[in-house]
A and B are shown apart, each in its own frame.
Chain A
């Protein structure tokens, strides 16, 4: 219904290369969170990371986003260090709890990155409104987060991450706190949004069916210290509709991911 103003991706999506990364959380006894992790994500690819709780999925996203620095190993985004991309504001991030400013309206929250980038003029405002419409919140632009449902807040958070057209979009269990019905709806929406804004997307989840439904590839991590156990290409055709979940191929991929998680792939 909002497709008349499709935003054009002004940035080319970039590839992500993670090469033998180790990460210790500092402390009296440093904690090894990620060990010898290597994987890559092609430009415009949708990759899910799945793994048991505490295996280092969030840590991995933070490393890619340059919110943490690897203890050893290299990460490159489009051949450049993540710091370069973060500084030029080409990384988008969606947090599990939306992380919106409670004192700002939906519109204000989506405007935040543009204000920080000093692009809050007429064009910026139009862009923010366009993004709100893209995520289906055109009518809620003046509502504060407290006046929105959990799913709507996540939509605002996605719109906020998309306003500045990042080359890569990182999502850390964005729908983890939602009920199953809303979650399925949001998955559907996310695919629609991603298909119109082909950013490289890394999506962290606990849910096997979510991972299979959304992704081109599912990267399976081992328990802590996290490492990459397997990378499973999902050969299901796009666009994907909810009905695909009932196809035998879908079950097969789910089983494959489950096996990899259990460690006997």
Chain B
């Protein structure tokens, strides 16, 4: 195996990499003793009961407050009307929800994969990082409402009609995928770039001491160190990808997906249907967020909550 020597890539007396980007939280995964408060079984139950209670109260308020304020139910439909609509309109909502979920999840997967590859490139070359990292931050600040239409036009100009199924996966629509990939790409790129650099400087020195190759340092030190950062990004992008999918479909305005349905229901002044379809997406994205949290617990057991 080629022993590309990391220590030789920089002056030997350069102080060892410390994360130069300020991170808002303590470096995750350090093996410091944690002073977590003892969690009794009772408070575990509270952690389930309290949020459910909050959601319940919110739904009750939604159900009754607009009426008390004298708003008519066709202006702001009650929650129970929305639930009813969800069932009565399921024939329309169901298939479109499927399209939206596909756009969101495929975008999530592809966007994150590309971002991880990008971050690895950044971590291997300061030059690449210096060149492109500011651009990445800049891109992240452009609202999706602005960049979405650019994608729609871009894909249409290149003759990929909005409804062409993705040839490889066979699902989803390209312009919307462009939006969901984009929206998941940047948070992960930024987080992973920080994570791949935020290694324990002494561990890095130990790897150099045992003459570990650049590849070994990446595989055995940088990547494992960055997994908590990856999951921090997943927490954000797992819901963002659904927002991206709906906004993308809505901008495309071709009446597919939940975003398309929103247009239709708005035209038909069917507010129950509108809220029912939004509810369907919210529940789906929350479910995905939950899966991400569970995956984090299973895959990053060394991460100490502080």
Contacts and interface: CB of A to CB of B under 8 A. Distances in A.
A145 B206 contact: no
A175 interface: no
Interface of B: 7, 11-15, 29-34, 200, 202-203, 205-212, 216, 220-221, 224, 227, 300-302, 304
Contacts of B300: 103
A167 B13 CA distance: 24
B29 A102 contact: yes
A102 B31 contact: yes
Contacts of A164: 210
Contacts of B14: 26
Contacts of A112: 210, 220
Given A68-B12, A144-B302, A89 B210 contact: yes
B209 A99 contact: no
Interface of A: 23, 25-26, 62, 65-69, 71, 86-89, 91, 93, 95, 97-103, 112-113, 115-117, 144-146, 150, 153, 164
Given A100-B31, A146-B302, A153-B31, A89 B220 contact: no
B302 to A, nearest CB: 5
B13 A69 contact: yes
Nearest to A24: B13
Contacts of A87: 211
Given A101-B224, A145-B31, A26 B11 contact: yes
B13 A25 contact: yes
B220 A103 contact: no
A233 to B, nearest CB: 29
Which residue among A102, A145, A153, A164 has the maximum number of chain B CB atoms within 10 Å of its CB? A102
A227 B14 CA distance: 22
B209 A86 contact: yes
A144 to B, nearest CB: 6
A145 B11 CA distance: 32
A144 B303 CA distance: 11
A214 B207 CA distance: 28
Contacts of B33: 146, 150
A146 B200 contact: no
A146 B293 CA distance: 21
Which residue among B12, B13, B205, B208 has the maximum number of chain A CB atoms within 10 Å of its CB? B13
22 contacts: A25-B13, A26-B14, A65-B209, A66-B12, A67-B208, A68-B12, A69-B12, A86-B211, A87-B211, A93-B206, A97-B202, A99-B203, A99-B205, A100-B31, A101-B224, A102-B29, A102-B30, A103-B300, A112-B210, A116-B210, A146-B304, A164-B210
Given A25-B13, A26-B14, A69-B12, A117 B31 contact: no
Contacts of A23: 13
A245 B58 CA distance: 70
Nearest to B224: A103
